[in-house]
Structure 1
Amino acid sequence: MRMEANMSGSVREHDIVVYGASGFVGVLVAKYLAGHAPAGTRVALAGRSESRLAEVRQRLGVDWPILVADASDAAAVDRLAASARVVLTTVGPYAKYGKALVHSCAAAGTDYVDLTGEVLFARESIDENHELAAQTGARIVHSCGFDSIPSDIGVHVLDRQVKADDAGELTDTTLVVTSMRGGFSGGTIDSMRNQLDVIKNDRRLRRLAASPYSLSPDRAAEPDLGRQDDMAILNGTEVDPRLRGSLAPFVMASYNTRVVRRSNALLGWAYGRQFRYREAMSVGASPLSPVLAMVTKVGLGALVVGLSLPPTRFVLDRILPKPGEGPSEQARNAGHFTIDLFTTTSTGARYTARFRAKGDPGYAATAVMLSESALALIHDRDALPPSSGGVLTPATALGDALVNRLRAAGMEITAAKS
């Protein structure tokens, strides 16, 4: 068996361990790696059930090793982390099942990627693991799926183009989900449900989750840019003169915006000290768009309230997708998303960026983004942004290496002056 050392110098049996490989998204990731990982990439499948992992391996027609590890078994999780150069995990909610694994990876100097969209989990991971991972050289990279790669990498590409044109710094920047077909996974809903349970009786955690800089490395050093409302209804022309109609709140804005702001801070506020970032969703340009935007806002609020109250949660739990469930292959393939970003620079120039991909955002496209993030950590070390390790973001840990990989995988990622 070929053995390779990681950044800490210890020898590792596997390049990538897919943890949760028998789950719905885990299977999609394993399938993608089986078809697209460069020859010689040593992948292992991991999870709680040896028999289910064996079924996945047989279905894929691969001879990858199987590792059995329950998230609550500290010794097994430590062994898993120590065996890999990169651990890729789809097992959420991460606040319930992911804390031990990410800490084990940070301690072992093992790179790590996941799909979390949980503010409080990410904050706790930063507090517990950032300095440790910086010491061991581990790149801990949360949110490597639809949350939050289009947001974080989209702003990264936008900033790179502005810098290349010597057009100043980013100021008011808005991401607009221009079109999207596909649903949110049962895992995303379960993560939302879990976080609501955690903050329900804890005012401090509610304030932390609501803070626009909840993931900042130094909240006191962040600029005071006034109120930043994730649930605002926007007028399209205020974002860009070419946009028409009203823009509704985007359901994941409260997480994605904090990831992007963390990237700016980790980079020494390279995007700009006056960088203001928000996200919204197009509901069309018809005269009814203000009504549709308000209906969307009310609906999102109702979902949060509904999941917070036992009687309505009982009903919603029977309607909403459950963890481990997902759409058919035909539905996944029919999905797509187009995300446009608009900014005005400190010199007054207007720039736009686009991130577009085929495939259901929460499943097919996410499997590609997560897999390519892991592959970048293995195969593109020389092209990664300089870092000594830590709890990073997709932009600060993977940068242009991931951009190039996603473009090669068929995703459109562009930026230009308007």
Structure 2
Amino acid sequence: MTEVLIYGSAGYTGRLCAEEFVSSGLRPVLGGRDGAVHALAARLDLKAAVFDLSDPREIERQLKGVRLLLNLSGQFLTTQKLLIEACLASGTHYVDLAGEVEDTSNAFTFDERARRANIMIMPGAGFNVAPSDIAAGIAKNRLPDANELVIALATDGGVSRGTLKGMLSHIEHAGHRRVDGVLVAARPAETELDFQVGGRRFRAVYDPWLGDLFTAGVSTGIPNISTYSAFPWLAVAMMKGRLLWLRDLILNHLLPLLPEGSSARQLRHGRTYVLAVASNGRVEERVALTGPEAYRFTVLCLREIARAVLSGKWSPGFQTPALYGRELLEGMEDVTWD
């Protein structure tokens, strides 16, 4: 029986995750599409499983006997379907880092089948969803009749090429806002929010793509949800449809010249800031926390979720990180409740 298989382990986040798992005493199998997986597996003294996603039968064969699959390979709208189908057939729990509305809602379409197969499907297991989903769940528990939820995020640190490419490719496109339980169209940066966490003040703009717009709707049932992120001014300008020539220059020419991800110093010293405010129109409940750098936070979330699943703490069907509540974050380094 293989405990954990990390697919996409040769990518920036995948390597960080593999290294963290090994340092924590876990021995995952490293999976991916190309031979770079073998080099990483050899360095960490782990087994490797190289396979692409072109043959559903081969995916299912590779997952036979695997208890938990961590999908860290991007383009989740494509990889989710193929890997979840194989997990349903092999009885493997599925967790990924999908952090946008379309990705998380796509995973939800497998809920009923996952319940019948007695496996758990959990997207949004990284920084972009997990801590904010947990904070939102705490706020809802404190204010059961809340009908509005605001989530705000800020980070100090770097960004991976994959994340930057994904963000820039649709940075001026419309996204969503949850209104009366329904996702409606919303423009990026259409409104602003000033907020404070951990003694720091931030100015954020409306972020219409965050997966919390879907996942928090499931985990809290709150009908009206807005999501904000603090972005650099250049990104905000692009979100408003300006400086798109610079966006194209970065995507078409400059991206390969940028660092692969956060530097070692940024991983050590970067910080993240999460705020969830639930309201019933008369009273507000504010839940805030600071955490480690975003990519570091992501691999810690994956580590703790993997430990929970392997110890039998999981529920069948589609689940969000709020399933584990505050306890999931309590086991992490450098997480402070504000």
**Does the C-alpha gap of structure 1 residues 101 and 324 become closer, same or farther in structure 2, counting only changes over 3 Å?**
farther
> What is the Cα deviation at residue 252 of structure 1?
6.4
Structure 2 residue corresponding to 1:300, chosen from 222, 236, 239? 239
Match of 2:8 in 1: 20
* Structure 2 residue 46 is the aligned partner of structure 1 residue 36: no
SS in 2 for 1:173: strand
Structure with more strand by fraction: 2
| C-alpha distance in structure 1 between counterparts of 2:102 and 2:257, whole Å | 21
Instruction: Choose 1 or 2 for highest CA Rg.
Output: 1
Match of 1:3 in 2: none
| C-alpha distance in structure 2 between counterparts of 1:137 and 1:230, whole Å | 38
* Structure 2 residue 280 is the aligned partner of structure 1 residue 357: no
Q: What CA RMSD, in Å, does the superposition of the two structures yield over aligned residues?
A: 3.6
Q: TM-score, normalised by structure 2?
A: 0.83
* Structure 2 residue 46 is the aligned partner of structure 1 residue 119: no
| C-alpha distance in structure 1 between counterparts of 2:12 and 2:63, whole Å | 22
> What is the Cα deviation at residue 83 of structure 1?
2.5
**Does the C-alpha gap of structure 1 residues 134 and 282 become closer, same or farther in structure 2, counting only changes over 3 Å?**
same
> What is the Cα deviation at residue 115 of structure 1?
1.0
Structure 1 residue corresponding to 2:321, chosen from 367, 374, 394? 394
| C-alpha distance in structure 1 between counterparts of 2:14 and 2:257, whole Å | 15
| C-alpha distance in structure 2 between counterparts of 1:230 and 1:249, whole Å | 8
**1:332-411 counterparts in 2 under 5 A?**
332-345=267-280, 348-359=282-293, 361=294, 363-381=295-313, 384=314, 387=315, 389-395=316-322, 398-400=323-325, 403-411=326-334
Structure 1 residue corresponding to 2:213, chosen from 257, 264, 269? 257
**Does the C-alpha gap of structure 1 residues 245 and 393 become closer, same or farther in structure 2, counting only changes over 3 Å?**
closer
Match of 2:227 in 1: 279
**Does the C-alpha gap of structure 1 residues 321 and 151 become closer, same or farther in structure 2, counting only changes over 3 Å?**
farther
Task: Give CA-to-partner distance per residue, 1:320-354, whole Å, 9 cap, x none.
Answer: 478992132122222111222223346x3332111
**Does the C-alpha gap of structure 1 residues 276 and 45 become closer, same or farther in structure 2, counting only changes over 3 Å?**
same
Identical pairs, percent: 22
| C-alpha distance in structure 1 between counterparts of 2:5 and 2:183, whole Å | 41
Match of 1:412 in 2: 335
The answer to whether the 8 A contact 1:248-1:296 is kept is: no
| C-alpha distance in structure 1 between counterparts of 2:296 and 2:2, whole Å | 25
The one-letter code sitting in structure 2 at the alignment partner of 1:231 is A
Match of 2:33 in 1: 48
The answer to whether the 8 A contact 1:152-1:394 is kept is: yes
> What is the Cα deviation at residue 98 of structure 1?
3.7
Point out the more displaced range, 255-264 or 148-157: 255-264
For structure 2, the residue ranges without an aligned partner over 5 or more in a row are none
> What is the Cα deviation at residue 158 of structure 1?
1.9
| C-alpha distance in structure 1 between counterparts of 2:247 and 2:188, whole Å | 24
* Structure 2 residue 189 is the aligned partner of structure 1 residue 231: yes
Match of 1:176 in 2: 152
Point out the more displaced range, 136-145 or 403-412: 403-412
- Work out the number of aligned pairs and report it: 336
Structure 2 residue corresponding to 1:102, chosen from 68, 84, 106? 84
Match of 1:152 in 2: 133
For structure 1, the residue ranges without an aligned partner over 5 or more in a row are 1-12, 201-205, 214-218, 284-291
Q: TM-score, normalised by structure 1?
A: 0.69
* Structure 2 residue 16 is the aligned partner of structure 1 residue 81: no
Match of 1:59 in 2: 43
